[in-house]
A and B are shown apart, each in its own frame.
Chain A
Amino acid sequence: MNSSRELRFVLLGVAFVGVLVTLLVKKSERIRGAAILLAWLVPGAGHVLLGKWKKGLFFFSILGATYLFGLWIAGFRSISWDDNPFYYVGQWGSGATFFLARWISVQKAYPREDLPPSWFDPGLLYVCAVGLLNLVVMLNVLEVKRPARAAAPAAPDPVPAALPKEPPPQPEVPA
Protein backbone atom coordinates (compact mmCIF):
# COMPACT_ATOMS: atom_id res chain seq x y z
CA MET A 1 0.00 0.00 0.00
CA ASN A 2 1.17 3.53 -0.76
CA SER A 3 2.71 4.84 2.45
CA SER A 4 1.41 8.43 2.31
CA ARG A 5 -2.01 7.22 1.23
CA GLU A 6 -2.16 4.87 4.20
CA LEU A 7 -1.13 7.64 6.63
CA ARG A 8 -3.79 9.97 5.19
CA PHE A 9 -6.42 7.23 5.42
CA VAL A 10 -5.75 6.42 9.08
CA LEU A 11 -5.41 10.05 10.20
CA LEU A 12 -8.67 10.90 8.39
CA GLY A 13 -10.34 8.05 10.28
CA VAL A 14 -9.04 9.37 13.60
CA ALA A 15 -10.19 12.91 12.73
CA PHE A 16 -13.62 11.54 11.76
CA VAL A 17 -13.98 9.83 15.14
CA GLY A 18 -12.87 13.05 16.85
CA VAL A 19 -15.51 15.13 15.01
CA LEU A 20 -18.18 12.49 15.68
CA VAL A 21 -17.44 12.46 19.41
CA THR A 22 -17.38 16.28 19.52
CA LEU A 23 -20.80 16.46 17.87
CA LEU A 24 -22.49 13.63 19.76
CA VAL A 25 -21.07 13.95 23.25
CA LYS A 26 -22.36 16.49 25.74
CA LYS A 27 -20.19 19.51 26.37
CA SER A 28 -19.43 18.47 29.94
CA GLU A 29 -18.23 15.09 28.65
CA ARG A 30 -15.93 16.41 25.94
CA ILE A 31 -12.93 15.11 27.85
CA ARG A 32 -14.17 11.65 26.94
CA GLY A 33 -13.55 12.47 23.27
CA ALA A 34 -9.99 13.49 24.07
CA ALA A 35 -9.64 10.30 26.11
CA ILE A 36 -10.73 8.15 23.16
CA LEU A 37 -8.19 9.81 20.86
CA LEU A 38 -5.51 9.44 23.52
CA ALA A 39 -6.50 5.79 24.02
CA TRP A 40 -5.94 5.22 20.33
CA LEU A 41 -2.53 6.81 20.47
CA VAL A 42 -1.28 4.95 23.56
CA PRO A 43 -3.17 1.92 24.97
CA GLY A 44 -4.56 2.73 28.40
CA ALA A 45 -3.86 6.48 28.24
CA GLY A 46 -7.56 7.26 27.92
CA HIS A 47 -8.31 5.55 31.21
CA VAL A 48 -5.46 7.43 32.88
CA LEU A 49 -6.89 10.73 31.61
CA LEU A 50 -10.28 9.87 33.12
CA GLY A 51 -8.72 9.06 36.48
CA LYS A 52 -8.65 5.25 36.18
CA TRP A 53 -4.88 5.09 36.26
CA LYS A 54 -4.67 1.53 37.59
CA LYS A 55 -6.75 0.19 34.72
CA GLY A 56 -4.84 2.34 32.24
CA LEU A 57 -1.52 1.07 33.52
CA PHE A 58 -2.79 -2.50 33.37
CA PHE A 59 -3.93 -2.12 29.76
CA PHE A 60 -0.66 -0.46 28.78
CA SER A 61 1.50 -3.11 30.39
CA ILE A 62 -0.43 -6.17 29.21
CA LEU A 63 -0.87 -4.92 25.64
CA GLY A 64 2.71 -3.64 25.53
CA ALA A 65 4.08 -6.98 26.73
CA THR A 66 1.99 -8.89 24.19
CA TYR A 67 3.15 -6.58 21.42
CA LEU A 68 6.81 -6.93 22.40
CA PHE A 69 6.48 -10.71 22.60
CA GLY A 70 4.96 -10.81 19.10
CA LEU A 71 7.71 -8.56 17.80
CA TRP A 72 10.36 -10.74 19.44
CA ILE A 73 9.02 -13.79 17.62
CA ALA A 74 9.07 -11.89 14.33
CA GLY A 75 12.68 -10.78 14.82
CA PHE A 76 11.73 -7.25 15.97
CA ARG A 77 10.50 -6.44 12.51
CA SER A 78 6.88 -5.54 12.44
CA ILE A 79 4.44 -6.96 9.92
CA SER A 80 4.55 -5.20 6.59
CA TRP A 81 1.79 -5.00 4.03
CA ASP A 82 3.70 -7.56 1.95
CA ASP A 83 3.91 -10.05 4.84
CA ASN A 84 0.21 -10.17 5.49
CA PRO A 85 -2.16 -7.31 4.65
CA PHE A 86 -4.83 -8.51 7.13
CA TYR A 87 -2.46 -8.66 10.10
CA TYR A 88 -0.96 -5.34 9.03
CA VAL A 89 -4.34 -3.57 9.05
CA GLY A 90 -4.95 -4.98 12.53
CA GLN A 91 -2.15 -2.75 13.79
CA TRP A 92 -4.15 0.34 12.89
CA GLY A 93 -6.17 -0.19 16.08
CA SER A 94 -3.53 1.61 18.08
CA GLY A 95 -1.52 4.68 17.21
CA ALA A 96 1.60 3.32 18.89
CA THR A 97 1.53 0.09 16.86
CA PHE A 98 0.53 1.99 13.71
CA PHE A 99 3.47 4.40 13.87
CA LEU A 100 5.88 1.65 14.96
CA ALA A 101 4.68 -0.50 12.07
CA ARG A 102 5.32 2.35 9.63
CA TRP A 103 8.75 2.84 11.13
CA ILE A 104 10.04 -0.72 11.39
CA SER A 105 8.03 -2.63 8.84
CA VAL A 106 10.19 -1.36 5.99
CA GLN A 107 12.16 -4.56 6.48
CA LYS A 108 10.24 -7.76 6.08
CA ALA A 109 9.57 -9.80 9.22
CA TYR A 110 11.17 -13.23 9.10
CA PRO A 111 11.09 -16.47 11.10
CA ARG A 112 13.92 -16.48 13.65
CA GLU A 113 16.48 -19.23 13.38
CA ASP A 114 16.46 -19.93 17.12
CA LEU A 115 12.70 -20.48 17.18
CA PRO A 116 10.59 -23.11 15.44
CA PRO A 117 9.43 -21.76 12.07
CA SER A 118 5.84 -22.55 12.96
CA TRP A 119 5.95 -19.76 15.57
CA PHE A 120 6.16 -17.07 12.91
CA ASP A 121 2.43 -16.84 12.16
CA PRO A 122 1.39 -16.72 15.84
CA GLY A 123 3.95 -13.92 16.27
CA LEU A 124 2.23 -11.91 13.58
CA LEU A 125 -1.09 -12.73 15.20
CA TYR A 126 0.11 -11.41 18.60
CA VAL A 127 1.06 -8.06 17.05
CA CYS A 128 -2.26 -7.83 15.24
CA ALA A 129 -4.28 -8.85 18.32
CA VAL A 130 -2.84 -5.93 20.31
CA GLY A 131 -4.23 -3.43 17.79
CA LEU A 132 -7.64 -5.08 17.80
CA LEU A 133 -7.78 -5.34 21.60
CA ASN A 134 -6.97 -1.65 21.82
CA LEU A 135 -10.17 -0.95 19.88
CA VAL A 136 -12.08 -2.68 22.68
CA VAL A 137 -10.18 -0.63 25.28
CA MET A 138 -11.05 2.56 23.35
CA LEU A 139 -14.74 1.68 23.37
CA ASN A 140 -14.52 0.97 27.10
CA VAL A 141 -13.46 4.60 27.63
CA LEU A 142 -17.08 5.52 26.83
CA GLU A 143 -18.26 3.55 29.86
CA VAL A 144 -15.69 4.69 32.38
CA LYS A 145 -17.33 6.32 35.36
CA ARG A 146 -15.23 9.27 36.32
CA PRO A 147 -14.37 9.55 40.01
CA ALA A 148 -16.85 11.86 41.71
CA ARG A 149 -15.54 15.26 42.64
CA ALA A 150 -15.48 16.29 46.29
CA ALA A 151 -18.90 17.57 47.23
CA ALA A 152 -19.05 21.36 47.33
CA PRO A 153 -19.89 22.81 50.73
CA ALA A 154 -23.58 23.42 51.05
CA ALA A 155 -24.75 27.03 50.84
CA PRO A 156 -25.57 28.47 54.25
CA ASP A 157 -29.21 28.41 55.10
CA PRO A 158 -30.52 31.97 55.01
CA VAL A 159 -32.85 31.26 57.96
CA PRO A 160 -31.09 29.05 60.47
CA ALA A 161 -33.50 26.52 61.85
CA ALA A 162 -31.89 26.69 65.29
CA LEU A 163 -32.89 30.26 65.84
CA PRO A 164 -35.87 30.62 68.15
CA LYS A 165 -38.93 31.56 66.27
CA GLU A 166 -40.67 34.72 67.24
CA PRO A 167 -43.90 34.03 69.09
CA PRO A 168 -46.95 34.65 66.95
CA PRO A 169 -48.56 38.00 67.65
CA GLN A 170 -51.20 37.76 70.31
CA PRO A 171 -54.63 38.95 69.31
CA GLU A 172 -55.55 42.11 71.09
CA VAL A 173 -58.23 41.60 73.67
CA PRO A 174 -60.66 44.48 73.94
CA ALA A 175 -60.77 45.90 77.43
Chain B
Amino acid sequence: MTGISYLFLYVPICLVIMLVLETCRSDNPRRILRRSFSNFGMLTLVLTVGGALVWVINRWF
Protein backbone atom coordinates (compact mmCIF):
# COMPACT_ATOMS: atom_id res chain seq x y z
CA MET B 1 0.00 0.00 0.00
CA THR B 2 2.83 2.39 0.80
CA GLY B 3 4.13 1.77 -2.71
CA ILE B 4 1.06 3.26 -4.30
CA SER B 5 0.14 5.69 -1.52
CA TYR B 6 1.38 8.54 -3.71
CA LEU B 7 -1.77 8.03 -5.79
CA PHE B 8 -3.74 9.73 -2.99
CA LEU B 9 -1.79 12.89 -3.73
CA TYR B 10 -3.71 13.03 -7.00
CA VAL B 11 -6.84 14.21 -5.16
CA PRO B 12 -5.59 17.50 -3.63
CA ILE B 13 -3.58 18.69 -6.62
CA CYS B 14 -6.41 17.86 -9.00
CA LEU B 15 -8.93 19.71 -6.81
CA VAL B 16 -6.60 22.71 -6.57
CA ILE B 17 -6.23 22.84 -10.35
CA MET B 18 -9.99 22.56 -10.90
CA LEU B 19 -10.74 25.20 -8.25
CA VAL B 20 -8.23 27.69 -9.69
CA LEU B 21 -9.47 27.18 -13.25
CA GLU B 22 -13.12 27.53 -12.25
CA THR B 23 -12.41 30.57 -10.09
CA CYS B 24 -10.88 32.22 -13.15
CA ARG B 25 -14.10 31.56 -15.07
CA SER B 26 -16.73 32.51 -12.54
CA ASP B 27 -17.46 34.77 -9.57
CA ASN B 28 -20.17 32.63 -7.99
CA PRO B 29 -18.70 30.45 -5.19
CA ARG B 30 -21.47 27.82 -5.37
CA ARG B 31 -21.03 27.48 -9.12
CA ILE B 32 -17.25 27.25 -8.69
CA LEU B 33 -17.56 24.46 -6.14
CA ARG B 34 -20.20 22.56 -8.10
CA ARG B 35 -18.33 22.68 -11.40
CA SER B 36 -14.96 21.92 -9.78
CA PHE B 37 -16.25 18.80 -8.11
CA SER B 38 -18.17 17.64 -11.15
CA ASN B 39 -15.11 18.14 -13.38
CA PHE B 40 -12.96 16.36 -10.80
CA GLY B 41 -15.41 13.45 -10.72
CA MET B 42 -15.54 13.22 -14.49
CA LEU B 43 -11.75 13.31 -14.82
CA THR B 44 -11.37 10.68 -12.12
CA LEU B 45 -13.97 8.49 -13.81
CA VAL B 46 -12.24 8.76 -17.19
CA LEU B 47 -8.83 8.00 -15.67
CA THR B 48 -10.19 5.06 -13.68
CA VAL B 49 -12.00 3.54 -16.65
CA GLY B 50 -8.92 4.11 -18.83
CA GLY B 51 -6.67 2.53 -16.23
CA ALA B 52 -9.02 -0.43 -15.84
CA LEU B 53 -9.10 -0.91 -19.59
CA VAL B 54 -5.31 -0.90 -19.81
CA TRP B 55 -5.15 -3.37 -16.91
CA VAL B 56 -7.66 -5.70 -18.58
CA ILE B 57 -5.81 -5.56 -21.90
CA ASN B 58 -2.49 -6.29 -20.22
CA ARG B 59 -4.00 -9.10 -18.15
CA TRP B 60 -5.90 -11.08 -20.77
CA PHE B 61 -4.66 -10.01 -24.20
Which chain A residues have a beta carbon within 8 Å of chain B's beta carbons? Answer: 55, 58-59, 62-63, 66, 69, 116, 118-119, 121-122, 125-126, 129, 133, 136-137, 139-140, 143
Contact = CB atoms under 8 A, between A and B. Distances in A.
Contacts of B6: 116, 118-119, 121-122
A110 to B, nearest CB: 16
Mostly, the B contact residues are helix
Interface residues of B, number: 16
Nearest 10 interchain pairs by C-beta = A140-B24, A122-B9, A118-B6, A116-B2, A133-B20, A119-B6, A66-B16, A122-B6, A116-B5, A126-B13
A121 B13 CA distance: 13
Contacts of B3: 116, 118
Contacts of A55: 23, 27
Interface string B16-32: 11011101100100000
Given A55-B23, A118-B4, A133 B9 contact: no
B9 A119 contact: yes
Given A69-B12, A125-B13, A129-B13, A137 B20 contact: yes
A121 B20 CA distance: 22
Nearest to A125: B13
A95 to B, nearest CB: 17
A136 B16 contact: no
B5 A118 contact: yes
